Each structure stands twice: as structure tokens, then as C-alpha cells.
Chains A and B, each alone.
Chain A
């Protein structure tokens, strides 16, 4: 049985009897969440893994904003997760793949929020693809300081598209920065 996060697109779809595409019309933000191998580190508050914390924080967001958040998990590839729970993908951090995956939703009024704990496979190519977007791309860094240049890169990515950058207060805590981005 598939686990459905309360307020996820699939839960709303099933409850309303509409199609997923129709439910998608109410989406305000696409959250691209890094689910690469580094997210397995158990350094989030309470000794939780970054994976676990990201799942829990995304669930919290969807509970509070039913039908407004579309979840895309990415690592070496990207995956749409209408159940609201991002898949633990492992592997690398291919932000180019993630941006190409969501490009179809560019310039539709939907906000893009890229959440990551690290540095992408190809930073220059990621910036090049990001600059082709008409919509702004906001970024949230949820990793530890000083381990990689991930924070600096996400700041550059947001700047490249006129988006905003936030750093989570603690590792993996993505809900609060996203709420700020959504003006909550």
C-alpha cells in the first residue's frame, strides 16, 4: 500500500476524484529536494538522517499547505513524487537533470525551490540551464557549513535567476525557509 502524505497532490487527487493534472493547477511551488547519497548522513537534529528530516519537514509543509506543493526528488536523475514523500535515491547531485525535468513548468506562475545539502555534479552547466528559466529559482541550503561549497553555489544559483537564498537553521530543516519564501 502506498503511503500518502496528508495534503500531498495524490491525496488531494484521490479525495476529489479529479485527475492529477487538474489538481496540479492549484500548485504554488515545486520543491526540488536533493535525495543524493550525502543525505544519508545522520547529522540532522536528534541524530536523524538528512533523508528522514527532509521527508518529515516536507510532510509538515504539505499538511499546512494542502495541494500547494509539488515534490520532485533528484540525485543522478529526477523523480516526481505525488505521494508527497521523496524517494531516497542515493547517487550524485545532478541539478542539470533536475532543472531539465521541471523546465516544462517554467513561466507558469509556479515557484521553483531547490533544496540541497551539497555541491552539484556540474556547477557551470547548472547555472547555464538555470539562466534559461523565465521563472526565478529560490534555493535553500540544508547541509553543514564548511564541508563543501554547496552553500556558496546555491547562493550563486539563486542570484543567477533573481531568486532568493536561505540557509536552514540546522541541518535538514527545510520547512521554515520554504515558508519564508512563500511569504508565510
Chain B
């Protein structure tokens, strides 16, 4: 789903709006479908790192220039490497 650039940007917009609406906590929380190297600010609380601010979010790429996308499938997650051409 998020290997499509348009859908990915649409998803990010929805993620941003839902964070602003405060609805994330009112519903059953589901992790974002995006993955990457995240630089975040926050603090450790009871063995967990609680993020207060995401400063940067970079793609993870392999030596072929493909981008990692991942999503949940039941209790486990699935990872795929997608050609970077679709993001340009």
C-alpha cells in the first residue's frame, strides 16, 4: 500500500491530522505503517522510550538503492524492499 508514493503521502497526512486530533489515544492504537531511521526526543519511562517529538525520519535503503517498507500482518510484521524509482 505505502509503496505507492501518492498513497504514502496521503497516509502521512492522515497520520499528522490524527495526531493533532488527539484521537490516537481514544481508539485502539495501531503503529504507523511507515518505517525508517527515526531521530526523536523523549524520555525513558518504566523501561520504555516515550517519544515527545520526532526530529527526523529517514528512509532505510539497501545497496541497490531500494527502500524498506514494512507493515503488520497478524501478530508479525512483513518487510519488503521497493525500488526507489517510485518515490522520485
Contacts and interface: CB of A to CB of B under 8 A. Distances in A.
Contacts of B37: none
Contacts of B27: 10, 13-14, 19-20
B18 A82 contact: yes
Nearest to B24: A20
A133 interface: no
Number of contact residues on B: which range applies?
Answer: 20 to 34
Interface residues of A, number: 25
Interface string B43-80: 00000000000000000000000000000000000000
Interface of B: 1, 6-7, 9-18, 20-21, 23-24, 26-30, 32-33
Interface of A: 2, 10, 13-14, 17-25, 27, 70, 79-82, 104-105, 107-110
A24 B14 contact: yes
B30 A80 contact: no
20 contacts: A13-B23, A14-B27, A17-B28, A18-B30, A19-B18, A19-B29, A20-B17, A20-B21, A20-B24, A21-B32, A24-B17, A27-B10, A80-B21, A82-B17, A82-B18, A104-B13, A104-B16, A105-B17, A108-B6, A110-B10
